[in-house]
Structures are given as C-alpha cells and as structure tokens.
Amino acid sequence: MSDITSQSLTSLVSNIKNKKLSSEEVTKAFVDRSEKSKELNSYITEDFSNAIDKAKKFDDKPNLDLKLPGIPMAVKDLFCTKNIRTTAGSKILENFVPTYESTVTQNIWNEGSILLGKLNCDEFAMGSSNETSFYGNVQNPIDKGLVPGGSSGGSAAAVSGQLTPITIGTDTGGSIRQPASFTGTVGLKPTYGSCSRYGIVAFASSLDQAGPMAQNVEDCALLQEIISTYDDKDSTSIDFKRDQYSKDLTKDIKGKKIGIPKEYRVDGMPKEIEELWKKGIEYAKDCGAEIIDISLPNTSYALPTYYIVAPAEASSNLARYDGVKYGFRAKGENLIDMYEKTRSEGFGAEVQRRIMIGTYVLSSGYYDAYYLKAQKVRKLIKNDFDEAYKKVDAILTPSTPSSAFKIGEKKNDPVSMYLNDIFTVPVNLAGLPAISIPAGHDAAGYPLGLQIIGKAFREQEILNLAYAMEDKINFKNKITDWWIK
C-alpha cells in the first residue's frame, strides 16, 4: 500500500470501506505530515488532537455507508465551523469562534469526514496570491518562494502538498481555479446557487461560490456531490435536480462541442500559455470532441466590471465588522472613533482599498457611472455566453495568464495583481460553472492549468470533459517535499 498521504481521496475512501485502513491511521498520517509542513504556513488553526480523537471514535463505530467515512479534511478558513476559530484570514476575526456551522461543511461532516483544521487564505478572500492574510504568506509546495495563488492559497497548497486528501475553497473571481492552476491541482467552481452560502464569510454575494479542490477529477466529483445541496437558509440557493457527479462520471465525450473564444487570446500572452492551450485543443479532439471557434465579444470588459461589482458588494458585506458584536475592537473615545480605529487596525491594506473602491462606486453621484454601468456590462457578458452556448456545450481556455510568480513580486502593484484573474472572472460574472485542471509545465517546471467552462447547472458535463482530458494529459505533479526537514 503506497504512502497514505499520497493516495487519492477515492482510494482512501475505498481502503477505509474495505477495512484496509482505519480512520485513525489515515488521520494520523495527515496530521503527521501537516505537522512537518509548518513552513508552508497552510494552516491558520490546527485541530489535530481533536481530529485523532474523532478518528478513534469513528473506528469504534464505523459507518461505512457514508461517502467520506472517517476521512480527515482541512477546510478554507472562510467556512464557519462550530466551536472552531474562524478568522477569514483577518485580524478583525482573530478570536472569533462561531457557534454555528456552514451548510457546506455540515454536509461534509454528515458524510463522516473529520476536521483537521482551518486553512490560510487571503484576507476576506481578497487576493490572488495569499499575500494579504494577517496570518502570513503561504508557500507553494511546487517551489520555495513561490505564491500558491489566492485567495484559497492555503487550501491549494494543502492539497498539492498532501496535507489533506481534498479540501473546499471559495471562488469569487477565480479563487479556486487560479490557485489550483498554480499548484498543479484540480479546482471546480460550481454554478452560482449550486452550493449554499449560508455560514460562509461573505465577500461578494452575487459572485461567491464554494467548491472542491482536489488532486484529480474523480475526487473532485465526489466532493461536489456532497457539498451541492439546496438550502432554504440561503435565498440565492437554487433548487435544481443535481446529478450524481461521481457515479455518472465518464470519459466518453465523443461529439461534445467545445468552443474556443478568440478574445481570450490576449495581447502579450506568454507563448507557453498559447502552446498549452493549443495542446489542450488537440487533446480534446483526441477524445472525440468537436472544436468550434466562438466569440465572447465583451471579454475584455470583465475584469473592470468585476473590480466594480465585487468591491461594491464587499464594502457593504464588511460593514458588519464594526467591533460591536464580535471580533476585534479598538478603544475609541466615542462610537465613530471606535468604528474608525477598529476597522483601520482590524482590516489589512488590500481589504481597506477594496472597501474604499466599493464605497466610492456606490456613492451619490457615481452610482450610475460605475455600479449601474457595471451591472449592465455584466448582462452583456452573460449574454455573450448564452449566445455561445447555442453552438457549443463547453468552452476551453487557459486558467491563468502565467504560472505561479514569486512571493512579493506583484504585491505593490494592485492592477498587476488583478490581471491574474483575467480568464477566471468572466465565469463568476455570468454565474457559470468552471473547472481548472493541470495540463502542463512551463519552462521553469511550474504547473499550468486549463479551464473548462460549462453551461449553468451542467457540472457533470465539465467534469466529464475534464476527466477525459486528464486521462489524455496524464499530468504528474512534481512534489519534492522541499519544506519537510
């Protein structure tokens, strides 16, 4: 039996179900590896001893009918976990312990999984490199000094570095797909409304979605099945018939029409990305898919639109962090003074920047020119996809405009940082599902990802396409364990 921590989720589940492994063994293995991996700084909060206790309890009375029987899992620190500190990567929630559980994580625990701990992320999910976290940067397991991507950087690093067999992240503008691409892992952002947002610290309500981050497509499909449920505690949750994503997973994609949007071929695109994309197209053809050129004319307006809509919603969502009910509170001479000091000390620079942008674009005199305009452009972007989907079943693009960059390289240039999301953002604006799969390496040997975008509610379709292509691509993640002394 190969090293426990290098097994896939599917393999671990199978081994536990047929009693080849116990939950305690599996949990101890991941705890052990996590403890040796502090240099990655993937975790904000560890719950290791509790995890082992729970694993022992599970083994005492195992329920092997569950889908994640005794499987340990760490999750992004944006999901409220009952009685376990939840910080959202921020100082302002440094000591916040929720008395409630998010729907998505509850679904996971209900299937027998065990919490290992909470994973590092950009503060309030705002960032593309995990460099805005109050709890420090995260190292990409691929190479020292490399960012893992963001905002689900800790999550991506944990999966890639095998500190957890699988995890969940959140994606507002690419925060699952981009770090998946940077770390050589698989990340799925489901259709908006597919997973409940109840209990997830909100960033931008009309864009946020939770999703699985895994080592392979099969594992991803299994977790998606578990976390995607209708929830009446979330008014934006959609009640649609969900497929059995892992059961119905197939590599047969013959005849599927895949669109290649010309507008994604941006100026100054690195040659390697171009090459990767071309290769991806060939792989798709090999699997029997039909390639069709399409146009998404308003693509170049997606990023500016996103940087109006997301900060606007965030500026309002983050107003509740005022030191009154919970979280960090600074001493103030009066109420307003208390608010101002609490928020300027409690929030990091990027969060403050985005709150200011958001406040400005909603303010009197500017609402029409910015927010309203952005919502109109968003309509155009969605229309583009609707039009395209009359001709194709899915769309294939690169996930990111580059491979992982160095820590500190883009920190002082917000706009350059924002450009990371150029391929992922249109998907959130349109509310569509998309998956990033690792598809190759750049000259430095760093992973590069391809993105498959699907029709609304058609996660099965893109999982299948990803499954087929994953097989053809046969990607091997080069993990050297450099951080383990």
Partner 1 sequence: MSKDNSEYLIERHDNVYEVVIGLEVHAQVTSNSKLFSSSSTKFGAEPNTQVSLVDAAFPGMLPVINEFCVKQAIKTGIGLRAQINKKSVFDRKNYFYADLPQGYQISQFKYPIVGEGKVVLDMPNGQKEVGIERLHLEQDAGKSIHDIDPQNTLVDLNRSGVALMEIVSKPDLRSPDEVSTYIKKLRSIMRYLGTCDGNMQEGSLRADVNVSVRLKDSKELGTRCEIKNVNSIKFMQMAINYEANRQVDLIEEGKSIDQETRLFDTKKNETRSMRSKEDAHDYRYFPDPDLLPLEVTDEFIENLKKDIPELPDDKKKRFIDEFKISAYEATILVSDIDTAKYFEEVVAKMGKNLDIKLAVNWITGELFAVLNNKNLEISQSPISAKNLAKLVNLIKNGTISGKIAKTIFELMMDGDKDPQIIVEEKGLKQESDPKALEVLIDKIINDNREKAIEYKNGKEKLFGFFVGQAMKVSGGKANPQLINEILKKKL
Partner 2 sequence: MTIDLKTIKHISKLSRISVDEQKAEKLAGDLNSIFNFIEKLNELNTDNVEPLTSVAETTLKFRSDEVKNQNIREQIIKNSPEDNEDFFVVPKVVE
Binding site for partner 2 (CB under 8 A): 96-97, 99, 192-193, 206, 232, 235-236, 238-239, 298, 300-301, 303-305, 307-308, 315, 319, 322-327, 329, 332-341, 343-344, 347, 352-353, 355-357, 359-360, 363, 370, 372-380, 382, 414-415, 418, 429-431, 456
236 near partner 1, judged by CB under 8 A: yes
Adjacent-strand bridge partners of 72: 114
Among 91, 96, 281, 341, binds partner 1 (CB under 8 A): 96
| Catalytic residue set | 76, 151, 175
240 near partner 1, judged by CB under 8 A: no
Would you call the peptide bond into 128 cis, given omega within 30 degrees of 0 as the criterion? Answer: no
205 near partner 1, judged by CB under 8 A: yes
319 near partner 1, judged by CB under 8 A: yes
Q: Which does residue 88 bind out of partner 1, partner 2, none, counting CB within 5 to 8 angstroms by kind?
A: partner 1
364 near partner 1, judged by CB under 8 A: yes
Q: How far is the CB of 362 from partner 1 (least distance, A)?
A: 4
Among 278, 320, 406, 478, binds partner 1 (CB under 8 A): 320
Contact segment (CB under 8 A) with partner 1 among 266-274, 295-303, 307-315, 389-397 equals 307-315
Q: How far is the CB of 327 from partner 2 (least distance, A)?
A: 7
Q: How far is the CB of 196 from partner 1 (least distance, A)?
A: 9
Contact segment (CB under 8 A) with partner 1 among 22-30, 95-103, 110-118, 425-433 equals 95-103
Q: Which does residue 430 bind out of partner 2, partner 1, none, counting CB within 5 to 8 angstroms by kind?
A: partner 2
Q: Which does residue 482 bind out of partner 1, partner 2, none, counting CB within 5 to 8 angstroms by kind?
A: none
User: Given the complex with partner 2, which of 79 and 307 has the nearer CB atom?
Assistant: 307
Q: Which residues bind partner 1 (CB under 8 A)?
A: 80, 86, 88, 93, 96, 98-100, 102, 197-202, 204-206, 232-236, 312-313, 315-316, 318-320, 322, 324-326, 335-336, 339, 359, 362-364, 367, 371
